[in-house]
Amino acid sequence: MTPAEVFLRLVHGVAAGDYAALPDLYAEQIDVRHPMAPGGDHPLLSRDALREHFSGTGPAVAQTIEFRPDNIRIHQTADPEVIVAEFEYAGVRPADGATFRVPCVFVLRVRDGLIVESRDYVDHVAMARARGTLDQLFDSAREPRGPAVAS
């Protein structure tokens, strides 16, 4: 699969809640980061770590919202393994019918049809607003979970 095809399977699989199949889009050894995560970036470095991430995060999201990828724009780069994908997750919160859009940018490196590296930039405030979890988001932002940085 091309990097664009892998990306499309990923975002459509996330939206469909196919969390058990998503790790198969990744190599065994990976470097997946969420640089804008409010609680700090905690790299996922193996398919098993990613499987654990999807099994925890995915179902929690699926319980509160329904969404699909929309406005997808895939940019090729000079490196044939790397794409930059701009898109939105667009959806509805079934509990009250509120609609939402969450802007995202993913930078993916795909080698031999598998993701080996990813930088996922997601509007976490928009996603928390959509899910009705702003308080939890703000709490996680107040409590850094990584190692202390010396000043």
Domain boundaries, the chain: 3-142
- CA distance linking residue 138 with residue 128, whole number of Å: 9
**What confidence score (pLDDT) does residue 144 get?**
60
- pTM of this prediction? 0.88
**What confidence score (pLDDT) does residue 54 get?**
86
Query: For residue range 94-149, what is the model confidence (pLDDT) as tens digits?
Result: 989 999 999 999 999 999 999 999 999 999 999 999 988 888 888 877 766 554 44
Top-confidence residue, 55 or 2: 2
**What confidence score (pLDDT) does residue 149 get?**
43
Query: For residue range 10-54, what is the model confidence (pLDDT) as tens digits?
Result: 999 999 988 889 999 999 999 999 999 888 888 999 999 999 988
Cα dihedral 89→54→59→42 (10° resolution): -80
**What confidence score (pLDDT) does residue 47 get?**
96
CATH of 3-142, one of 3.30.70.20, 3.10.450.50, 3.10.110.10, 3.40.50.300: 3.10.450.50
**What confidence score (pLDDT) does residue 70 get?**
98
Give residue for tokens 């470097």.
31
pLDDT band at 60 (very low <50, low <70, confident <90, very high): confident
